Amino acid sequence: MFRRRDRQPRTDERSAQRLESLDPRWRPPVDKANVSRERFLTVLGQTEPGPTRERLEGLLPTIDEAVRRVTETAWRASNASAIAAGFDAEVATAELKAARREMDAAQHSGTDMGGLEDRVRILSERHRAIHDAINLSEDAGGRIDDLIARLETVVARSAAIVLRSGQGDDDVVVLDRDLHEVVVGLTALDDSMREFD
């Protein structure tokens, strides 16, 4: 059933050349996505010519799209992390709390607010913007990890189909559906990070 591989995995040149410049948090997703593609090519290369191989080959463009989306999202998330790291969230929080306390004290004492309301508003906007950037990056981390796990599952299931001597037409259909769901999820995640290009 198995034969020598006749295809070598394609290395993502952008990932290989610039991986070191990524925030360390975002290197593993790119690595895992590329490893998943390599494993799929291994499965494909060990599959005898025929209907099963042809059906599995039909999944490759979607896997390529998933890897591309992971890579692009990782770069955007890395940019978001760098932006967020440029601000001191603790200082922003402390200054906002201090301004609010000062405004509350002025209100209770009946003294002139002296622009305190504007200061609190400005500091609130800054606080919200900083934490939005931090939360967006952190949320993206959890979402991309889940989607990578689903991609790895699809690749493992493709190997199971081959090991069952290609008896799994319906299974390939399910794999195709699951792969498209992964790409849809990655596309939505990628789009949410585009402001950090």
Using an 8 Å Cβ cutoff, are 154 and 179 in contact?
yes
Give the model's pLDDT for residue 165.
66
- Give the Cα separation of 145 and 44 in Å (integer): 25
Q: Would the pTM of this model clear 0.85, i.e. be above it?
A: no
What's residue 121's pLDDT? 92
pLDDT for res 66? 94
Question: Which residue's structure tokens are 């990524």?
Answer: 22
Signed CA dihedral, 161, 162, 168, 170: sign only: positive
Retrieve residue 156's tokens.
Answer: 């493992």
What number of other Cβ atoms are within 10 A of residue 194's Cβ?
A: 10
Helix/strand number for the chain, H first, E second: 7, 0
Strands in 18-63 per DSSP E: none
Which residues, other chains included, contact 190 with Cβ-Cβ below 8 Å and sequence gap of 6+? 69, 72, 73, 76
pLDDT profile of the chain (197 residues), mean per 10: 41 56 86 94 88 89 93 86 80 92 86 82 90 79 90 91 70 88 91 72
Q: Which two three-digit tokens encode residue 144?
A: 């991309």
pLDDT of residue 81: 78
Predicted local distance difference test score (pLDDT) of residue 39: 94
Q: Residue 16: its pLDDT value, please?
A: 55
Q: Give one word for 11, left, alpha or beta, with left for phi > 0 and alpha for psi -120 to 50.
A: beta
